[in-house]
């Protein structure tokens, strides 16, 4: 899926969990956990509390179970639009005061949107938790009281400008949405970009936007995690004080997920204002939070994580035909995709990179994955996760992780299960999953080449050539 969009762009780590700051040794295995308590208000609001008194700080982390997958064709970009609108004032917090209140208290805040969810967080001194909860309650319960056509028009233009900067006028900026448009059918919820299209943003009416908010930004579709130097009893008192009287919204509409398969490879070319050709390969794969998802994370690491990985060694070090190469498993709530992306050196045809990648995939399938490769991959995954959990707040911190597990895996305590699925990965499983999803399977194969250099594309007779903007 598309990288998360936010006031500061960010991407959550995909659940790479082998060790954590909170752990206990059990034989040769590490038992990991984030202690928490959980309760639900009568209006459906889920609340998770994690106490960590090591520093006098806390994080208030709010997830709404709404992302671009909850939109409809012709009305896309609403979830990301609200990520902006939510910072622009509510009934008791005039425009600009949200940030002013937090900064005066020594806090920081941010938010992001993905295909599956929208999140907001405030990192504050622990004595300012009440302020953060009041601010979040006011925009959950009273945002529409200040929602006007003028505010919609202003934020719509902000988002359009963001799209121009990050997508339309950014080198390689249209690559991901081009792949998604061809990886999924027209009515699939992952087909359109999180940021939306210019046409859909222009067509959105004030009534459309208000109806979207009433449906999805309600207590029964939200979860609040409070982590840090806090006590559960005090958090409960404050949550009930500020959120209990906010009425629940309607039942959340079911997301229709049509079948998404490729009968054959889809070769595409985009001519863009770039200097170096770049190849994007994307296959259908499993959704997130499954055992297969973990094994595909390991496959991605074996292929392209670090200088000793197979594709880096082959393309960058030995043959020296590529500047860089990466691979990742992007498991979402309803589907997944496996990616390999390689940037060629000047004037190197992408067909050469594609052939080398296919040869390495076949070699992995026939020769297997070594125990050393598996160990290196798991070590890197462990390191990334430990770093993310060094913080109680922010993107990927403990509060964010508790909310992620609650919405995406069904329980804030899914950490142990997450650890177990990585610990269960074997070299044989990695190969089996590569054969099932990747090796010899149909893919979207996008070549992004400098304008006028379609000859550098990975395959002749490609479709979808863009003559430039």
Average pLDDT on 279-304 reads 97
The pLDDT value given to residue 31: 60
- The C-alpha angle with vertex 240 and arms to 239 and 245, in degrees rounded to 5, equals 115
Residues 328-361: pLDDT tens digits?
Answer: 999 999 999 999 999 999 999 999 999 999 999 9
Residues 176-216: pLDDT tens digits?
Answer: 999 999 999 999 999 999 999 999 999 999 999 999 999 99
**Separation of alpha carbons 183 and 181, rounded Å:** 6
**DSSP element (H, E) containing 39:** strand 37-40
The pLDDT value given to residue 419: 86
**Burial class of 441 by CB neighbour count within 10 A (0 to 12, 13 to 18, 19+):** middle
- CATH 3.30.830.10 matches 266-391+409-456: yes
| Res. 24: pLDDT tops 60 | no
3-state secondary structure of 283: strand
The pLDDT value given to residue 416: 87
Residues 126-157: pLDDT tens digits?
Answer: 999 999 999 999 999 999 999 999 999 999 99
Residues 372-406: pLDDT tens digits?
Answer: 999 999 998 888 877 878 899 999 999 999 999 99
- Percent of the chain whose predicted confidence (pLDDT) is above 70: 91
This prediction's pTM: 0.90
The pLDDT value given to residue 14: 35
**DSSP element (H, E) containing 402:** helix 398-409
Residue 445's beta-bridge partner residues? 267, 281
Residues 84-119: pLDDT tens digits?
Answer: 999 999 999 999 999 999 999 999 999 999 999 999
Confidence of residue 250 (pLDDT cuts 50, 70, 90): very high
The pLDDT value given to residue 239: 98
State the chain's mean pLDDT as an integer. 90
Check residues 417 and 28 and name the one with the higher pLDDT: 417
**Domains 5-243 and 266-391+409-456 alike in fold:** yes
User: Where along the chain do its domains lie?
Assistant: 5-243, 266-391+409-456
- Class of domain 5-243 as given by CATH: alpha beta
**Separation of alpha carbons 33 and 389, rounded Å:** 11
Q: Which of 240, 242, 196 is nearest to 68 (CA)?
A: 196
**DSSP element (H, E) containing 61:** strand 57-64
The pLDDT value given to residue 389: 81
């Amino acid at each position: 899926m598309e990288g998360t969009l936010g006031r500061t762009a960010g991407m959550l780590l995909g659940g790479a969990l082998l060790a954590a700051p909170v752990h206990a040794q059990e034989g040769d295995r590490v038992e990991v956990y984030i202690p928490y308590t959980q309760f639900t208000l009568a209006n459906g609001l889920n609340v998770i509390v994690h106490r960590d008194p090591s520093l006098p700080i806390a994080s208030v982390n709010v997830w709404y179970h709404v992302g671009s997958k909850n939109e409809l064709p012709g009305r896309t970009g609403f979830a990301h639009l609200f990520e902006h609108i939510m910072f622009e004032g509510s009934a008791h917090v005039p425009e600009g005061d949200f940030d002013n209140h937090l900064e005066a208290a020594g806090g920081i805040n941010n938010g992001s949107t993905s295909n599956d969810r929208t999140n907001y967080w405030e990192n504050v001194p622990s004595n300012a938790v009440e302020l953060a909860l009041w601010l979040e309650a006011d925009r959950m319960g009273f945002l529409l009281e200040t929602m006007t056509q003028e505010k919609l028009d202003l934020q719509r233009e902000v988002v359009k400008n963001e799209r121009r900067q990050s997508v339309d006028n950014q080198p390689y900026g249209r690559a991901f949405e081009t792949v998604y448009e061809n990886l999924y059918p027209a009515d699939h919820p992952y087909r359109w970009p999180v940021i939306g299209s210019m046409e859909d943003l222009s067509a959105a009416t004030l009534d459309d936007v208000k109806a979207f908010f009433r449906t999805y930004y309600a207590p029964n579709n939200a979860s609040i995690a409070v982590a840090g130097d806090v006590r559960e009893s005090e958090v409960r008192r404050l949550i009930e004080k500020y959120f209990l009287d906010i009425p629940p919204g309607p039942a959340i509409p079911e997301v229709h997920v049509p079948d998404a398969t490729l009968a054959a490879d889809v070769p595409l070319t985009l001519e863009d204002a770039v200097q170096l050709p770049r190849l994007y390969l994307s296959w259908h794969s499993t959704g997130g939070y499954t055992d297969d998802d973990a094994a595909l994370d390991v496959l991605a690491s074996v292929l392209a994580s670090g200088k000793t990985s197979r594709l880096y060694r082959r393309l960058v070090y030995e043959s020296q035909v590529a500047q860089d190469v990466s691979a990742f498993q992007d498991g979402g709530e309803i589907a997944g995709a496996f990616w390999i992306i390689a940037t060629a050196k000047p004037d190197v045809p992408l067909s050469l990179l594609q052939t080398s990648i296919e040869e390495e995939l076949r070699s992995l399938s026939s020769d297997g994955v070594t125990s050393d490769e598996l160990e290196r991959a798991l070590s890197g995954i462990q390191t990334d996760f430990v770093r993310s959990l060094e913080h109680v707040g922010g993107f990927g911190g403990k509060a964010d992780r508790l909310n992620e597990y609650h919405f995406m895996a069904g329980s804030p305590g899914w950490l142990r299960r997450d650890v177990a699925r990585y610990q269960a990965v074997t070299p044989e499983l990695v190969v089996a999953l590569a054969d099932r999803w990747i090796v010899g399977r149909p893919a979207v194969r996008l070549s992004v080449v400098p304008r006028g250099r379609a000859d550098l594309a990975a395959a002749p007779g490609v479709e979808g050539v863009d003559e430039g903007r």
